[in-house]
Structure 1
């Protein structure tokens, strides 16, 4: 009878390993299979996409989706645009935004290597406004400026957070370029200030569930069969794209007219020219927030301070919210109806 060793010599199915033991192998070794091919990331020159900083890059960054991408890079859920080229002393900040707790965020952009002039601007902004977060975005954050931001974070520890980011563009083959924010300087022991109760807490839910009952008992012209959620109450005006929102945010109760998308962009300036008359009718000073560059987010509103934990004051707050909502309907509904607006495809999007 032939041994395993003999068979290995003749048909190649057995060989000796390093220890002298026989093991089975295929008579003909197949070449290893090739894996799926992987493409290579290629850097893209920033100036090839954003030729002029204030004309191209700043408006791009100010768009909602791009601000939120920046927010996530520095540890925030979202950022909301306040304005572009906002006056601060003798300078103008590229972008001023706010986070979910109304903390002021100032953003300064450079598509080149950082310089001393922009560092001076950042310090000026932080001292001239009630700024909580300062963000410096550039192609290349120089070592001396990294050290300066680290020093500032140490000196103003807990009061203002200075972030330094480098932005890159990458693509694969002929794909569109994709931005990437790299955080290179950040405060080590900074906590974003917040006094917010979770919008999904049982207390907030109970408040907004009780408000419609208050209106029914006290008598109201409001149509109460509208959306009630954790964020507050949303009333739809007859014209698509216009809503009145009652909500609670960071120690303030708010009543706002919200204008979405294309119609909001058209309607806001038509309403703003009537600002004095509208505020006189509502008997409240109003804040006027124009639409973002993307055309979203136009709103007009008023607010009052209050803590939702103070349940004994709920009836007083209910009465104020009811009066404001009724006044907003009376002032804005006929004006909006009289407008000739070109509808778009983005008027029905929801926002909190």
Structure 2
């Protein structure tokens, strides 16, 4: 007879004594648990971000530059945290708001569903409620269980259509296959990198030493291996100032990477500094290792060169 274990659900507080000091920092480093449920890639996560007299638990961005607010609490959801969610939506101009609790009252579920239903514009904020618990099987270590109980109706449709579209694309499958091999490869030099789902897109990001700036591996024009530093997290004026500050180091940076491309993108909020190899990658297994080595070697040099400068901006 099969040996089937017993599942036990325990309170989050049993493993994390203090929400702010224990659970929130842990969640910041393990946002892939939520990302996998909502099909989101979290970038540049910060904790305790000031909003007037209040502090948002976690503020992050995704690969589409959407601003994501996460508010978590132990026990049952309450009116106080609903008010905070609305405050952060306005104060941080959030695109996605995720409320996490161990249980939700019908009134709070109805409130979030109503907020989603009255969103009239495509760029209106999206509200989510996630019910969390810790589970154990017999004497195993606890694992986080995440159950979305509120999400916008259009979100499910849009994400499903987008996922099917990506999966049907031959190019997307090639990207996914490459990242599936590259993520564990790069994790050997940057531990923690493997805690992500291989995307079907031509790029993959990770945070720099400063919130709002991110490093990216991608294939320019879908075929040229490229690494970049993106300035994406601030307003248009803030990003322009950051870009201009980095330009004061242009001689130093160009001496280490002689063919850096500086993209001011005057009409856009985001700016970038990029370095690529002028050699097409055919996504063959035969050439995969060479591209992974180029990505890894040059990104390590890129990161070690830019991060000290970024920290002092």
Q: TM-score range by the shorter chain?
A: 0.5 to 0.7
Q: What is the aligned partner in structure 2 of residue 48 from structure 1?
A: 14
The one of 143, 152, 158 aligned to 1:187: 152
Write the distance in 2 (CA, Å) between the matches of 1:62 and 1:124. Answer: 21
The one of 94, 112, 117 aligned to 1:131: 94
Contact map agreement 2:228 2:275 (CA 8 A) in 1: no
For residue 150 of structure 1, give the secondary structure of its aligned residue in structure 2.
helix
TM-score, normalized by length of structure 2? 0.55
The one of 121, 125, 147 aligned to 1:160: 125
The within-5 A match list for 1:220-239 is: 230-231=202-203
Q: CA deviation at 1:71?
A: 1.1
Change (3 A) 1:330 1:152: closer
Write the distance in 2 (CA, Å) between the matches of 1:156 and 1:48. Answer: 38
The one of 250, 256, 259 aligned to 1:282: 250
Q: What is the aligned partner in structure 2 of residue 146 from structure 1?
A: 109
Q: What is the aligned partner in structure 1 of residue 185 from structure 2?
A: none
Q: CA deviation at 1:322?
A: 6.3
Write the distance in 1 (CA, Å) between the matches of 2:247 and 2:22. Answer: 36
1:73 aligns with 2:37: yes
1:256 aligns with 2:229: yes
The one of 115, 127, 140 aligned to 1:175: 140
Write the distance in 2 (CA, Å) between the matches of 1:40 and 1:82. Answer: 35
Write the distance in 2 (CA, Å) between the matches of 1:334 and 1:305. Answer: 20
Change (3 A) 1:245 1:153: closer
1:305 aligns with 2:271: no
Write the distance in 1 (CA, Å) between the matches of 2:216 and 2:63. Answer: 19
- Please identify the structure whose Cα radius of gyration is greater: 1
For residue 149 of structure 1, give the secondary structure of its aligned residue in structure 2.
helix
For residue 101 of structure 1, give the secondary structure of its aligned residue in structure 2.
coil
Q: CA deviation at 1:78?
A: 2.0
Write the distance in 1 (CA, Å) between the matches of 2:307 and 2:67. Answer: 33
Write the distance in 1 (CA, Å) between the matches of 2:64 and 2:302. Answer: 30
Structure that is richer in helix per residue: 2
Q: CA deviation at 1:98?
A: 1.4
Contact map agreement 1:171 1:177 (CA 8 A) in 2: yes
Write the distance in 1 (CA, Å) between the matches of 2:143 and 2:119. Answer: 34
For residue 135 of structure 1, give the secondary structure of its aligned residue in structure 2.
strand
Write the distance in 2 (CA, Å) between the matches of 1:45 and 1:139. Answer: 8
**Structure 1 unpaired stretches of 5+:** 1-34, 206-228, 233-242, 258-274, 284-301, 308-316, 324-328, 337-352
Contact map agreement 2:229 2:274 (CA 8 A) in 1: no
For residue 140 of structure 1, give the secondary structure of its aligned residue in structure 2.
coil
Q: CA deviation at 1:201?
A: 5.4
**Structure 2 unpaired stretches of 5+:** 176-200, 205-214, 231-242, 252-261, 277-300, 309-313
Contact map agreement 1:282 1:331 (CA 8 A) in 2: no
* Pairs aligned (count): 212
